């Protein structure tokens, strides 16, 4: 028997006037999972987080936490009763309270010595044991985010909601704060739902990912499944540019202008289309190659090339930057 998800959303919908912010979303998140909601701005991911927290009430559907219905058509449990922690992009620390007092504020027994000891332990867990008396304005962005996490953990929530929690930090600091935060959440076994617009962040952080588009979940799965087996063009394009190559199918392969590609079980001898990521292709310099490098897009450790392979067909190819090829070079495109 499949265990009851720690968090379960059933047919959740919410509209603002004629605009569907969340459209018939069903999702189950098991205990201890870190689940990423990935999508562009306006896709509905932050609205869905607010519905889970109780800050918004859905028009239709049911929200359950640990098997208990907390919101449906007949009732709506207040946010403070839901055992939910919430960490926002802007930290939302109380400016008149020091770091320790901010953490204590989230605890129902905050005036006891036990609560103070627990708050000190949480600040130590996030590496801020020497900053307990620091005021928010004296803390760096990363330190403020860690105080916000400690405050959310102080309530020992069943569900932790993270809304773009690391996006305002610089790249080097973001990686460290993110690693610390997710390690603590995993160690505590807390169900975590994290909103992000960054595909790389979702792939590196999530046990599973749900891609949202126009208020709908278009695919849910492990990072490996989501990336390598997208449900369609929209899911594939979430992770960057994608090549769409037409060809003739035969069994589980399709013959394209750049060679044979696997496509799974399809009708034999039928025409079709295959989606190919740029990193699945490679360029070979060839004096007589029919391809031509049209544009080059440096990406740091990798380089993206736009290549014309025929009069009416172009493809993107991603290669290591150590394999530089000049613009307008004659090339052949190969499948890796």
Q: Tens place of pLDDT for every residue, the chain, 336 residues?
A: 456 789 999 999 999 999 999 999 999 999 999 999 999 999 999 999 999 999 999 999 999 999 999 999 999 999 989 999 998 877 789 999 999 999 999 788 888 999 999 999 999 999 999 999 999 999 998 899 899 999 999 988 999 999 998 887 888 888 888 898 899 999 999 999 999 999 999 999 999 999 999 999 999 999 999 999 999 999 999 999 999 988 888 777 888 888 888 776 544 445 577 889 999 999 998 776 679 999 999 999 999 999 999 888 999 999 999 988 999 888 999 988
Q: Looking at the domain that runs over 7-237, which CATH code has it been given?
A: 3.40.50.300
Q: Where are the domains of the chain?
A: 7-237, 241-335
Long-range contacts of 252-258 (CB under 8 A, 24+ apart): 257/309, 257/310, 257/313, 258/309, 258/315, 258/333, 258/334, 258/335
Q: How far apart are CA 215 and CA 237, in angstroms?
A: 17
What is each CA distance from 276 to 141, 191, 269, 296, in whole angstroms?
39, 34, 20, 19
Task: Please tell me the CATH superfamily of domain 241-335, with its number.
Answer: Nucleic acid-binding proteins (2.40.50.140)
């Amino acid at each position: 028997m499949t265990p009851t998800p720690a968090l379960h959303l059933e047919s959740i919908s919410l509209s603002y006037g004629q605009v569907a912010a969340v459209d018939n979303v069903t999702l189950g998140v098991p205990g201890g999972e870190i689940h990423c909601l990935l999508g562009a701005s306006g896709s509905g991911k932050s609205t869905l987080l607010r519905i889970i927290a109780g800050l918004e009430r859905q028009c239709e559907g049911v929200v359950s936490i640990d098997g208990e219905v907390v919101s449906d058509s007949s009732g709506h449990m207040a946010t403070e009763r839901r055992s939910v922690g919430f960490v926002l992009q802007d930290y939302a620390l109380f400016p008149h309270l020091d770091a320790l007092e901010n953490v204590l504020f989230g605890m129902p027994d905050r005036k006891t010595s036990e609560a103070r000891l627990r708050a000190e332990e949480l600040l130590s867990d996030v590496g801020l044991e020497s900053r307990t008396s620091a005021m928010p304005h004296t803390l760096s962005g990363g330190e403020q985010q860690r105080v916000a996490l400690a405050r959310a953990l102080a309530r020992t929530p069943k569900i932790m909601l993270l809304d773009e929690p690391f996006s305002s930090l610089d790249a080097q600091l973001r990686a460290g704060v993110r690693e610390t935060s997710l390690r603590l959440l995993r160690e505590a076994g807390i169900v975590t739902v994290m909103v992000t617009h960054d595909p790389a962040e979702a792939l590196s952080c999530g046990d599973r990912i749900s891609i949202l588009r126009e208020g709908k979940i278009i695919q849910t799965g492990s990072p490996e499944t989501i990336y390598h087996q997208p449900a369609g063009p929209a899911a594939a394009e979430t992770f960057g540019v994608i090549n769409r190559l037409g060809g003739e199918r035969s069994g589980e392969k399709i013959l394209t202008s750049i060679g044979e590609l696997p496509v799974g079980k399809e009708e034999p001898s039928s025409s079709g289309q295959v989606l190919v990521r740029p990193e699945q292709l490679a360029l070979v310099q060839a004096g007589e190659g029919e391809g031509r490098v049209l544009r080059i897009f440096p990406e740091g450790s990798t380089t993206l090339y736009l290549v014309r392979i025929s009069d009416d067909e172009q493809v993107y190819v991603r290669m290591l930057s150590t394999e530089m090829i000049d613009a307008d070079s004659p090339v052949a495109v190969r499948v890796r």
